[in-house]
Amino acid sequence: MTELPSGRWWIALVTFERDNPTQDVLPDSAWGACGWMFTSGRDEDDACGYLKRDIEHHGLKLIEVEQLTEVFGLEDIETFDDHLAANVREFEEGHRTALGAIHCYKGDGEA
């Protein structure tokens, strides 16, 4: 994909933690992580709802959504996270979210 599909698109800095032992995102040594995510949504509340839904779908618990920003092209995303921009280029039709680079933590603030 070289351009974003039609509609409104957002990125946000999300923090999440494991909520289920069978989650498939975090390495075994990590309790949680933060990173940029890409999502669609009619407005900010709608976008946050999709982020929460997809995080929970992976057996994780959404802790915080920060810096929710509407984006209009890949160059907007690249200024925040190159890995996320690469994943958006491979974005499959029908999906609502994509995850960028994540920074894991072990718990109690340990990185």
Taking CA atoms, 110 is separated from 18, 70, 82, 104, 105, in Å, by 15, 31, 25, 9, 6
Q: pTM for this structure?
A: 0.88
What is the mean pLDDT of each successive set of 10 residues along the chain, which is 111 residues long?
A: 83 94 87 96 97 94 97 95 94 87 79 51
Taking CA atoms, 16 is separated from 4, 8, 36, 60, 93, in Å, by 26, 24, 11, 6, 25
Q: What is the pLDDT of residue 97?
A: 93
